[in-house]
Every structure is written in structure tokens, then in C-alpha cells.
Amino acid sequence: MRRPFGTTATPGSGAPQRFSPSSPSYDLAGKVMLLGDSGVGKTCFLIHFKDGAFLSKTFIATVGIDFRNKVVTVDGMKVKLQIWDTAGQERFRSVTHAYYRDAQALLLLYDITNKSSFDNIRAWLTEIHEYAQKDVVIMLLGNKADVSRERVVRSEDGETLAREYGVPFMETSAKTGMNVELAFLAIARELKHRAGQQQANEPSFQIHDYVESQKKQPNCCPFV
């Protein structure tokens, strides 16, 4: 979506922020960034999560960077996700780099119908390692899984690449909503875990195990 360059907020710093019980709207906040080549579906992914809608087929590249907030509830705890939608085009890279360093989580998208967007994931991961925090949570997402006729990247190739880099992986569709909420819920749970908000009797949370177990649910991943 076209928006003014460098809108609304500046990069800050820090780990997931915890708020006092007097804060009325949420208990914890974290910054999540959407990354990946232009056209892979980052803006649509965010809009589907935020509003449950899919944008029209007209593709208008994001200019610069923008963010939306959404509060999700995880085990009774309200986690506010501040989700940054970045421009995938090369010419905006220097702008988005400045925003990497205080992100707690990165959703890295490619398009299963676009081989070069998949091939470029390694370059994205190199950039992430250069500019992001060392312990940033990364999730690899193969988007547009609804367009199976035009698939050129096999699901197994996504799995293999994710395993190589030790990051969780799933295929998604910003059009149907497949796994969109799951991706953000996994991030919210990880942020909660990192903020030390597990109950005493809760087992330790592992985002990788969580994603894998959710993918095995019968209503998950209908296009894979």
C-alpha cells in the first residue's frame, strides 16, 4: 500500500516491554517486522491479520515503512504486537535497516509462485544477521499457498531452508487467511515466554515445537 515515506514512529530500543497492571489495554508489547521481496504479500498479510480482509488484486508497492498495532490474548495475557510493514523494494532497504535493531521478531516472507523471492531469502537472512538483534525471533513463511497451480517452490524446499537456519517455517495465504493468525500467535507466545510470563506449572515454550504441533492440526495447511 502506498503511504508516506518514514511515517509515524521512530526506531526505539529494547526487549519485550512489560506494563504495570494499571495499564488498561495490554500486559506486554513487542515489535514485529515483516520482511521479504517486493510483492510477496507482506502488506496483505498484515491487513488480513489486522482486519480479516484481503486487498484487491491491484498491487501498490509499499513506500518506506508503516506499522499497525494489534492486541492478541495468549493464555489470558494481552500481548500488543506493533507490526511493521516494510517496503520490499531494494531502494528502500537503507531506511528499513534502521528499524531492524529493536525488533523482537521478524516474519520473513517469500512467494511460493516466485522462485527468485525464495532464492533471495538467504540474502535477507544475511541482512538480518547484520542489522537485527542477535536473539531476534525469525519465522520463515511461504506465502500465496492458495495459488497451488502456479507453485514453483516446493513446501519441502521451504522446510529444508528453514531447518538449515534453525527457524520455524510454515506456508501461508494472506488471501484465505491460512496460518496468518497462527504466525502472529506463535510470535506473541514467544514474546510472553521471553518476558518471563510463564505460569509456574506451564511447560517451557519452544516456538519451533509450537509451530510444528499446530501444523499437524487437522484444519491446518489445507493447500500443502
User: C-beta of 223: minimal distance to ligand GTP in Å?
Assistant: 10
User: C-beta of 56: minimal distance to ligand GTP in Å?
Assistant: 7
User: C-beta of 68: minimal distance to ligand GTP in Å?
Assistant: 13
Rounded distance, CA 130 to CA 132, Å?
6
| Cα torsion 53, 55, 61, 62: sign | negative
Closer by beta carbon to ligand GTP, 43 or else 197: 43
User: C-beta of 154: minimal distance to ligand GTP in Å?
Assistant: 17
Closer by beta carbon to ligand GTP, 15 or else 61: 61
CA gyration radius for the chain? 17
Closer by beta carbon to ligand GTP, 55 or else 95: 55
User: For residue 68, what is the DSSP state?
Assistant: E
Closer by beta carbon to ligand GTP, 15 or else 60: 60
Closer by beta carbon to ligand GTP, 146 or else 190: 146
Contact yes or no for 157/118 (Cβ under 8 A): yes
User: C-beta of 45: minimal distance to ligand GTP in Å?
Assistant: 7
Contact yes or no for 64/39 (Cβ under 8 A): no
Contact yes or no for 80/18 (Cβ under 8 A): no
Rounded distance, CA 70 to CA 217, Å?
25
In 3D space, the residue among 77, 109, 96, 85 whose CA is nearest the CA of residue 190 turns out to be 77
Q: Which residues bind ligand GTP (CB under 6 A)?
A: 38-44, 55, 57, 59, 61-62, 87-89, 143-144, 146-147, 173-175
